[in-house]
Structure 1
Amino acid sequence: GDPGQDYLVDALTDGLTTSLARMRDTFVIARNTAMTFKGKPVDVKAIGKDLGVRYVLEGSVQPSGDRVRVNAQLIDAGSGAHLWAEQFDTPRADLLQTQDAIVAHLARAMDLQLVQAEGARAKRTPAANRDAEDLALQCDAGTRKAGWIGKEADAAYALCDQALAIDPNNVRALMVLGTKFWLPAALGLSSDPKGDLERADRLETKALALDPDYAWAHVNEGVTLQFQGRTEEAVAEHERALALDPSNAAAAGGLGTAYIFLGQFEKSLEPFDKAIRTSPHDPALNLWYGQKAQAYFGLKNYDEAIELARRAIAIKPDYNQFSHLILVAALASTDRDAEAREALKRYLALPSTGPLKTIAAWKAHQMSPGGDPRFVEAEERMYDGLRRAGMAEE
């Protein structure tokens, strides 16, 4: 409502248009055309028909003191239905910092929401008309919704297999299917971690050969390389992903994890903070808090590690094995033995714990990330804490 503040809206529209245009297979109307609707009554259905777009993102910015409030909503241009809405506040630093924070937050939200919306649209398409990309979109949306692991996720991954049967070069299907193999290996749930990581590597390498600018394929390849012990290469992959898509929170989180494997615990904190700031409601949020807890454990800041591990576990108790272990070890390292034993008992009762019930099993699982002395020292401290809490050696 203040014309004197319009420069901020203009800058955000410009930055957001650029960021959304980086998303694969996304057609985004140019900023100059979008700005012609500014401050006018909007008929979303008419805009969709006139410009040939499926979705409209609209919003407002309200500066107040040292804060900026952002309202945004995503609308289906065909039906006029509201698909998503969010209101959030951000500190009002200098213009560029404020703009970057808002654009990154909204771009990541759109990445999540548009995949879900397109997956749902593809699901409504008559079976006879489904093509590889529609199946890949449904696979992408379904696996995200299921948390990428479990029976529901496996059913979604089957759609990627169907997509590749139609088109072996479907890049989205290749990228998503890689997660089916690297994630169980990373979580210690695979019966053949070495083989599964090699399968993921082949899928992501093929995706990148077909589309070298696909940020998500760089992210998945980076994680795969991390758990193959090729950590320096993993750092390079996550940095490439961030160069292609600065709002990719998963790339920031992956970079933080790679720094942990290199024993650079202090350096890992900034990427984790960037991931959490960029996507505060992300499906992977529990992992970033858990890995940040691991970094603080590495720094011997056990109280912070305990707080962050508990936050991670509260978001998603299952498939958070390492957060549980960091909590146990940090409690034991601060002489809170009774709490540590209780935390270990909860961990061992988890259905997702799989074979990782002994120190020997965890040592075998953690061998692949590499042997940086600082990382190894932190791991040994964790095992000492687990012993103190009562975890079996073998």
Structure 2
Amino acid sequence: MERRLAAIVIADVAGFSRMVAEDEAGTIERMRELRDTVTEPAIENAGGRIVKRTGDGTLVEFSSVVGAVEGAIDVQRQLAEIANADPEDRRFILRIGVHLGEVLVEADGDIHGDGVNVAARLEALCAPGEILVSGAVWDHLEGRLDVRAEELGLRELKNIPRKVALHRLIPVEGPVAASPAPDQGKASLPLADKPSIVVLPFDDMSKDADSGFLADGLVEDVTTALSRFRSLFVIARNTAFSYRGKAINVADVGRELGVQYVLEGSVRRAGDRVRVTAQLIDATADRHIWAEKYDRNLDDIFAIQDELTQAIAMAVAPSIRAEEITASADRDPGSLSLREKLARAWWHLQRYTAEDGEAARAVLTSALEESPRNATALAFIAQSYVFDGLYGWGRPQPESIRLAIETATQALMCDPDDENAQVHLAIALFIAKQHSEAARHLERVLESNPNHATAMGSLGMVLTYMHDHRADTLLKRAARLSPRDVWTSMFVGHRGMIAFIKGDDETALSYFREGLRIAPRNASLLRGEVTALAHLGRLVEAKDCYARLLEVAPGVTQTITRNGVMFVYEADASRFCEGLGRVGMPE
């Protein structure tokens, strides 16, 4: 067999299994049509050789690295344009992996070897509509292609004995690229660079409808305890709870979130007894590491939490010191009835409505009657006032922020280490434009809990306006820790604000639009899109976006913007408002 160096491209269709299950004949016919009219002509034009097809997948060999990537970009852009006219659940969007390496060539033209294996791993990790390339490919590309790229660092790939540098190429800016529903066995995010885990919501098997809050509280506490291990990468609870009530495949969850381990389980409550079952799964290998069942008195629920945390930590990160594991056991949060009230209040707060904020405060008021110095209850109340201030619910913004600061400060007097109180005091101070104080509180949280996504992203937002170079890294990592979090759109949007402040309006626009794909009616992001478009001279688009902004925030003015956006420097505020003025926003 001949041995040679080649650029290897492997591609397959995102969501193909689902589409075939829904309409087998139509899906296969459409795939063949797009092969004949788009993918194969693009491959031929770029100088590629189709080695073989495997169902919805294609293996291609190129002699030129640049040609391989140019062909992949051409295919993705053509398919994205076609997909704009298709229903969202019937779009043909590819995942593509590209690697440069040695291959063995058989007499019939088939190829094998390390080069093919690495390309296959990259394709499996790639997000729909994007291209994942290895460091060997990237070394030949820098500066040669007009495509947005993002460095992902060194990553371990399954069955590859060395770490591989990865780079993400984004050929298409817009919602089409990410539109296919998660497929069986495919991924959206590469694995984190250290042991990584998501704790999924536990199933409530009890007859009592209210006992679901017991399960939620257990999951939240285990997640928080694991987050404190610097040796672990822990997906934030807001993202984990987005899977509640859904029929899921554990391997798919691991791929979607880019984590190796998934913890799932159930809680069954009967009278004063509780049964908790838990199983830890290696999602990358689809194998069980361990399963455990706890039959206890209800009062022992906190001991179960501690045992779970320690068992998981030992299983996924053996290098964690014994004393660090011991220190992870949380303080006793109080009686079980109090615990359930806190879990119920947190559930309301995650719904992000004015009515749920009021409902949470009612539950928390009852909790404080039982435990007047409970820092968690006070921190949750502060959180509800922060939301009121952000969205203009219930009372004038300054009043809501004053209440948030007062309540969070009271919580910290009860427990100076309460992370939720620190975070929401910081956000309230940020809204009040006390940037340095806000940053101090958030940095303190991250010292004790390096996986706290909200603290990390909030610090990134604060530092954005302070022109601190750390901001972009913090925002990027926060979005990775909690990709399904309601805050993620703002983390992404503030990466756009960083670019805008630097005068890079094109990059700013791409990030504002990426945030709007997550939260289409976010007024802050719409304002960013308007001003970026205006500064780019694209006034027709800017005015269309301004019309959408007025639907969300009909009374918005330049003065409201100056007061509501947390600018530190007058030059930043003036440039931002200048763009808004170009589309007719009143002062």
| TM-score, normalised with respect to structure 2 | 0.46
Shift of 1:341: 0.3
The whole-number CA distance in structure 1 between the counterparts of 2:224 and 2:586 is: 55
Tell me the residue number matched to 1:212: 416
Q: Deviations over 1:130-156 (max 9, x none)?
A: 833321210112211x13x33234323
Q: Where do 5+ consecutive residues of structure 1 fail to align?
A: 6-10, 30-58, 61-67, 90-98, 104-128
- Of 542, 545, 550, the match for 1:340: 542
Native 8 Å contact 1:189 1:354 kept in 2 = no
Query: How does 1:280-319 map onto structure 2 within 5 Å?
Result: 280-318=483-521
Q: Which moved more, 1:212-221 or 1:325-334?
A: 212-221
- Of 564, 582, 585, the match for 1:365: 564
What is the one-letter code of the residue matched to 2:558? Answer: I
Matching of residue 171 in structure 1 with residue 375 in structure 2: yes
Tell me the residue number matched to 2:70: none
Q: Deviations over 1:293-332 (max 9, x none)?
A: 21211111211211111121121223x2111100000011
Tell me the residue number matched to 1:72: 262
Matching of residue 192 in structure 1 with residue 382 in structure 2: no
Relative distance call for 1:70 and 1:84 in structure 2 (3 A) is closer
Relative distance call for 1:322 and 1:254 in structure 2 (3 A) is same
Matching of residue 138 in structure 1 with residue 340 in structure 2: no
How many residue pairs were aligned? 305
- Between Structure 1 and Structure 2, which shows a larger proportion of strand residues? 2
Shift of 1:339: 0.5
Tell me the residue number matched to 2:578: 384
Native 8 Å contact 2:516 2:525 kept in 1 = yes
Relative distance call for 1:250 and 1:347 in structure 2 (3 A) is same
* Higher-RCO chain (CA-CA 8 Å, sequence separation at least 6): 1
Tell me the residue number matched to 1:329: 531
Native 8 Å contact 2:345 2:363 kept in 1 = yes
SS at match of 2:265: strand
Matching of residue 263 in structure 1 with residue 462 in structure 2: no
Q: Deviations over 1:358-383 (max 9, x none)?
A: 112222334xx46x33xx21221111
The whole-number CA distance in structure 1 between the counterparts of 2:393 and 2:356 is: 16
What is the one-letter code of the residue matched to 1:363? Answer: R
The whole-number CA distance in structure 2 between the counterparts of 1:160 and 1:283 is: 22
Tell me the residue number matched to 1:160: 364
What is the one-letter code of the residue matched to 2:510? Answer: E
Relative distance call for 1:292 and 1:138 in structure 2 (3 A) is same
The whole-number CA distance in structure 2 between the counterparts of 1:321 and 1:365 is: 11
- Of 217, 237, 249, the match for 2:453: 249
The structure whose Rg is larger is: 2
Native 8 Å contact 2:354 2:388 kept in 1 = no
The whole-number CA distance in structure 2 between the counterparts of 1:277 and 1:86 is: 20
Shift of 1:241: 0.6
Q: Which moved more, 1:214-223 or 1:179-188?
A: 179-188
The whole-number CA distance in structure 2 between the counterparts of 1:251 and 1:212 is: 16
Identical residues among aligned pairs (%): 21
Q: Considering only aligned residues, what root-mean-square deviation do their CA atoms show, in Å?
A: 4.2
| TM-score, normalised with respect to structure 1 | 0.66
